[in-house]
Chains A and B, each alone.
Chain A
Amino acid sequence: MDSRTGETLGAKPIAAGSDEVADLVARARSGDFEAFQEIVLRYQSRIYTFARRLLGNDADAEDVTQETFLALLEHLDQYRGEGPLLSWLLRIAANEVHRLWRRQNRQVAQADATEEEDSISQLPRPEFIAPWRDDPQQLLLRRETATLLDQALAELPEKYRAVFVLRDIEGFSTEQTAEMLGLSVANVKVRLLRARLMLREKLTRYFGDPDQRVSPDHPHT
């Protein structure tokens, strides 16, 4: 089966398939393990990928995935069907990731009061500026694109990667992202801008057309 059916846009609510999910949840609540398993199979790769991107290693991503579905199992009654189940699961997963970061004493979850000013005044300057040779639809058809995207994302410092994954990949709002990471809205905005600029730079080096490269110092008329 395709575990991605109807839920490809993450936190954005999607009508398609939601009745089906509500039905699976209802059956799971009444003790039907097959229905519960169907929910797991449907969302497991989304949760695993989310955790894997944030944490950067398999073992931690597996732990977070397992904890997330164990939490679903224990709290099936608390899911009221108000938002998409995927958003609910992603929030649980984000909590688990956060707990892991705190335990490992990572800086990702630490807000930095001076960060806003500091990094706004030293944004990374775009260097390789060129239109891409192909548009995103064409690029997505190529197998190597996924590898390049994962590689570029993995190379970002963790604190920028986390914000990019929540905001741009999973579609959470700036406020939700701030709450999930325990950061201020201002911190999230600055980190997101830096993440976007860094990824743009990396991807344009892969996908940009060197013959159409323009200089950042191009004089204005």
Chain B
Amino acid sequence: MTCEELLRLINELVDGELDLNLAECQEFAEHLAKCNPCQVVVDNIRQTIQLYRAGEPFPLPREFQARLLASLRRRWQERFARESESSSQASGS
């Protein structure tokens, strides 16, 4: 197996989708055991994913926060006004 061929299987390796009984996977393990650049690349990719998964979300821009809640409150009032209107019509006079 060449470095290039190993590169194409990195998703499966990193996502734990390699079936270790396959001959191809043995080749894969053998290559990895003696190819330092490929080992480092695989480690780097694992660390890259780990960093992004653990990263914190950004806070909302302050001005948008206020606008968002105001628009939701407005729609909420419309919605419940609509519902109480239709339920009062349903229970009708």
Binding site for B on A (CB under 8 A): 4, 8-9, 31, 33, 36-37, 40, 44-46, 48-49, 52, 58, 62, 65-66, 69-70, 73-74, 120, 123, 125-126, 129-132, 135-136, 139-140, 145-146, 149-150, 153, 164, 168-169, 171, 189, 192-193, 196-197, 199-200, 203-204, 207-208, 214-216, 218, 220-221
Contacts and interface: CB of A to CB of B under 8 A. Distances in A.
Contact of B45 (A40, A62, A196, A208): A196
B35 A220 contact: yes
Interface of B: 3-4, 7-8, 10-11, 14, 34-37, 40-41, 43-45, 47-61, 64-65, 67-69, 71-73, 75-76, 79-80
Contact of A31 (B56, B67, B71, B80): B80
Contact of B57 (A48, A125, A215): A48
Given A44-B68, A49-B57, A120-B8, 6 more contacts: A73-B79, A130-B40, A149-B51, A169-B55, A203-B51, A214-B36
Contacts, number: 135
B53 A169 contact: yes
B11 to A, nearest CB: 5
B36 A218 contact: yes
A139 B51 contact: yes
